[in-house]
Amino acid sequence: MKTLIHPTAVIHPNTELHHTVQVGAYAVIGGQVKVGPETVIGAHVVLDGLTEIGARNQIFPGAAIGLEPQDRKYTGEPSGVKIGDNNRIREYVTINRATGAGEATVIGNGNLLMAYVHIGHNCVIENSVVIANSTAIAGHVYIESQAGISGVLGIHQFVHIGGLAYIGGMTRIERDVPPYMMVEGNPSRIRSLNLVGLKRSGLNAVELQVLKKAFRILYRSNLTFKEALEELELLGDNEQLQRLRRFLLLSQMPGRRGLVPGKGKALNEELGVRS
């Protein structure tokens, strides 16, 4: 079967395209790019650098992937972008390659990046993440699986966003967002559990009840951070609580941004933020 390439596409002779790849009109693909089976590359897409793209991805018109990072530290060292399978990358999305030799910006599997999303250098987007229109994500951001990011918002560099968290539209995110939480506002605040997302994920009633208790401990009490973690341990040791506690502890490590605040006065004061 012959590769389905529009005659106006400009493709370097060293590009590696699976024979089932489709390439639209006026697409430009560099010589270090590799594209897997059944991926569709739309019109005017630009793929460059050390970019590896897996199977059954849809890349819509105007997207630009693998170009140099918008980082003054970048000096031309070989770095790349790695994209998994079954992603939908909508119109005019930009995904920059990493800063640092051998480093990569990584997009996992089954993600939806809506129009005009920007993914900065060295970001990691895990699996089944939805990022809505015109969201700008700075460098070194890590987004865990099944998070939901609404549109027209900015995420500060080095921020971590937990799995199954949800961020409301036009929110400024400059600190870490724990798993399972809903965040909204400018300045951003933890508002509630992401109950819709949690129910859709298949959590049962018992697991949801435990997370509701954890939320009240963290964001509706006057416990200190240490006291809140101790109370969380008393709730049990299921998968969700392990993940939440681990995220909270790691958020306090050097180099991390700290936590988005909620309504727990003592906890917020200890973390150096206002309620």
Residue range 95-141, pLDDT digits in tens: 999 999 999 999 999 999 999 999 999 999 999 999 999 999 999 99
- Nearest C-alpha neighbor of 137 from the set 112, 161, 156: 156
Predicted confidence (pLDDT) per residue in 168-226, tens digit: 999 999 999 999 999 999 999 999 999 999 999 999 999 999 999 999 999 999 899 99
Please state the pTM of the whole predicted model: 0.96
For the chain, the first-to-last Cα distance in angstroms comes to 62
Do 116 and 91 contact (CB within 8 A), yes or no? yes
CA distances from 16 to 41, 80, 116, 266 (A): 14, 15, 27, 56
Confidence of residue 58 (pLDDT cuts 50, 70, 90): very high
The size of the chain, in residues, is 275
Predicted confidence (pLDDT) per residue in 212-248, tens digit: 999 999 999 989 999 999 999 999 999 999 999 999 9
CA–CA dist 69, 47 (Å, integer): 14
CA triple 176-268-192, angle to 5 deg:
60
Q: Which residue would you say has higher pLDDT here, 95 or 268?
A: 95
pLDDT for 274 equals 64
Question: Which phi-psi region, left, alpha or beta, contains residue 204 (left: φ > 0; alpha: ψ -120 to 50)?
Answer: beta
Share of the chain above pLDDT 90, in %: 93
Mean local confidence (pLDDT), 15-41: 98
Delineate the domains of the chain, giving CATH numbers in brackets.
4-140 (2.160.10.10), 198-270 (1.20.1180.10)
